[in-house]
Amino acid sequence: ILGGIYSGMFTPTEAAAVAAVYAAFVAIFVYKDMTIRECPKVIIEAGKLSVVLMFIIANAMLFAHVLTTEQIPQSITAWVVEQGFSPIEFLIVVNIVLLIAGTFMEPSAIILILAPILFPIAMQLGIDPIHLGIIMVVNMEIGLITPPTGLNLFVTSAVTGMPLTRVVRAVSPWLLVMLGFLLLVTYVPFISLGLPNLLGM
């Protein structure tokens, strides 16, 4: 899969389809965990899961459209600029905004709406773009397991058959760990910039 992506045979999105075909082949012919007769049932279950996820994504995109129409991100940016924040204070605001956005919006919507707004301010404050990008990625990863619309919560619930409330309880300790990691990444830039600096990036 990685070879196909790096060689340009298919895009990362198309790699998901390749992975699905590969997984089906291995399950049927190698491990024999699944028979060909079971394939229709598996396809139906996958379709049900996809419908649930697409419904969540559609609502997240609708919410993102409302935010854009009401110019809420622009208002937040204007307020940050007026306050004359230092880099540390700005990163606190960035984390708060991204954590809140992550509970309602899916990652692609967050990137499309907030990245063009946060990037120029970060550049003015002397914050490395790689550092900012990694902070955004960690925040979005946290958003994927944060109620009420964390996509990974619904995926886990659908795949395992566990109630969503039980999944949320199981995830909570790891959510705290990721929040601690976010603080480290935010205020210890070497964690995110050490390797790029070593490679001369």
pLDDT, tens digit (0-9, with 9 covering 90-100), for 71-87: 777 777 677 778 888 88
- How far is residue 35's CA from residue 40's CA, in Å, rounded to a whole number? 10
Q: Ramachandran region of residue 168, left (φ > 0), alpha (ψ -120 to 50) or beta?
A: alpha
Q: What is the largest CA-CA distance in the chain?
A: 64
Average pLDDT, the chain: 84
Question: Is the pLDDT score of 100 beyond 90?
Answer: no
SS (H, E, C) 105-127: CCHHHHHHHHHHHHHHHHHHCCC
- How far is residue 1's CA from residue 3's CA, in Å, rounded to a whole number? 5
Reported as a single tens digit per residue, the pLDDT across 151-196 is 788 888 877 888 888 988 888 899 899 999 999 999 998 888 888 8
Reported as a single tens digit per residue, the pLDDT across 112-161 is 778 878 888 888 888 899 999 999 999 999 988 887 778 788 888 877 88
- How far is residue 145's CA from residue 166's CA, in Å, rounded to a whole number? 13
Tokens of 179: 């929040």
- Output the pLDDT for position 201: 66
Q: What is the mean pLDDT of residues 29-55?
A: 84
Taking each helix axis from N to C end, the angle separating 107-124 and 39-69, rounded to the nearest 10 degrees, works out to: 40
**E-state strands within 52-199:** none
Enter the pTM of the model.
Answer: 0.67
With a pLDDT cut of 70, the percent of the chain lying above it is 98
